[in-house]
């Protein structure tokens, strides 16, 4: 019996969660969408329909657990996630935390920081959502989400990293991070570890934003997991590498013996909150690749052709999540 992992439907054995996608978004909205509700109202029934369809597409490939990495300020909806999980028969884990400063909603905790100890208040928020539940829903978060900016960890963002490490030190909760453009991975890991974090329960995310294997090794050698978790996002608007470059990075790290510290996901946004997004023509085709099945339909077959073994891929998608959460 492993450590209990809180899902939106209650605790499960973290060592028995099966094939897992560690960073997806059933719904996501850039902060500010709430104020545009006159022209971009939230349709919970449509969100449920899209969510169940997405979960069922993942299930076709054997996925049994999805971590929804949507932060508190980006439209996180634990009740919706529970409805999706119940309808689709899948484990979904909801997050607690805030998005990085440039695309998050920093005004509130910057204001709180001017009044007193905001790190303590963030710690209290995270701990309450992990142990008591989110709001009045009774649904407990199962992971902590923090993020940093392009090329820097701002003082605002550092508050969340410090609070997250403190909560993890007490509760053992897994921390997932957002790196902007793959930058600040080594610095994120170092900060969390200096603040008392457990490397075996830290995932430095979006590390496929920088496809230099030596850079990834600087993070991996601190003992943490890294997530190559943006497969399918190749549009210019995301300023991301191509999947072929991500695949080359994965193969380089596998060949160097780091298979046991790798995780895969896609960072899909399956419903954007606010007004309907109308993608420019040049992005429409690119966005078609950004879907919940991309890893299974394209990436895994490619990696097998490149020389990865099925055992190594099973380690990344099944054994590593079980060790991380169990």
CATH number where 214 lies: 3.20.20.140
pTM for the complete prediction? 0.97
Placement of tokens 């919940």 in the chain:
292
Distance CA 9, CA 283 (A): 36
pLDDT tens string for the chain (326 positions)? 679 999 999 999 999 999 999 999 999 999 999 999 999 999 999 999 999 999 999 999 999 999 999 999 999 999 999 999 999 999 999 999 999 999 999 999 999 999 999 999 999 999 999 999 999 999 999 999 999 999 999 999 999 999 999 999 999 999 999 999 999 999 999 999 999 999 999 999 999 999 999 999 999 999 999 999 999 998 676 779 999 999 999 999 999 999 999 999 999 999 999 999 988 887 887 788 899 999 999 999 999 999 999 999 999 999 999 999 99
- Residue 8, SS3? coil
Q: What is the DSSP code (8-state) at residue 33?
A: G
Question: Can you give the pLDDT at residue 281?
Answer: 82
Question: Can you give the pLDDT at residue 237?
Answer: 64
Distance CA 216, CA 92 (A): 28
Alpha-helical runs (H) found in the chain: 44-59, 78-88, 107-113, 118-131, 155-171, 185-194, 213-220, 243-255, 281-288, 294, 300-306, 310-314, 320-325
Question: Can you give the pLDDT at residue 85?
Answer: 98
Q: Domain count for the chain, please give it.
A: 1
Placement of tokens 């007490």 in the chain:
170
- Domain span at 210: 4-325
């Amino acid at each position: 019996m492993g450590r209990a992992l809180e899902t939106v439907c209650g605790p499960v054995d973290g060592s028995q969660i099966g094939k897992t996608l560690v960073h997806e978004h059933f719904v996501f909205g850039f902060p500010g969408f709430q104020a545009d509700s006159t022209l971009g109202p939230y349709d919970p029934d449509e969100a449920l329909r899209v969510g169940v369809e997405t979960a069922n597409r993942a299930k076709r490939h054997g996925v049994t657990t999805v971590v929804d990495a949507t932060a508190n300020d980006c439209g996180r909806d634990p009740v919706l996630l529970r409805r999706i999980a119940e309808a689709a028969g899948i484990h979904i884990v909801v997050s607690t935390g805030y998005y990085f400063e440039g695309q998050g909603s920093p005004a509130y905790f910057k204001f709180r920081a001017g009044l007193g100890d905001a790190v303590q208040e963030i710690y209290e928020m995270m701990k309450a959502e992990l142990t008591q539940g989110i709001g009045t829903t009774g649904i407990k978060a199962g992971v902590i989400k923090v993020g940093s900016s392009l090329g820097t960890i701002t003082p605002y963002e550092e508050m969340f990293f410090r609070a997250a490490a403190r909560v993890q030190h007490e509760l053992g909760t897994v921390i997932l991070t957002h790196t902007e453009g793959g930058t600040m991975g080594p610095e994120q890991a170092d900060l969390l570890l200096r603040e008392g974090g457990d490397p075996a329960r830290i995932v430095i995310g979006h590390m496929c934003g920088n496809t230099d294997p030596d850079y990834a090794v600087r993070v991996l050698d601190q003992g943490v997991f890294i997530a190559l978790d943006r497969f399918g996002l190749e549009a210019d608007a995301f300023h991301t590498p191509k999947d072929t470059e991500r695949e080359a990075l994965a193969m380089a790290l596998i060949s160097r013996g780091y298979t046991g510290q790798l995780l895969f996901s896609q960072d899909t946004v399956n419903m954007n909150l606010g007004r309907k997004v109308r993608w420019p023509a040049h992005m429409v085709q690119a966005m078609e690749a950004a879907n919940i099945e991309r890893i299974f339909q394209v990436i895994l077959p490619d990696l097998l052709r490149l020389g990865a073994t099925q055992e190594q891929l099973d380690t990344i998608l099944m054994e590593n999540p079980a060790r991380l959460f169990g």
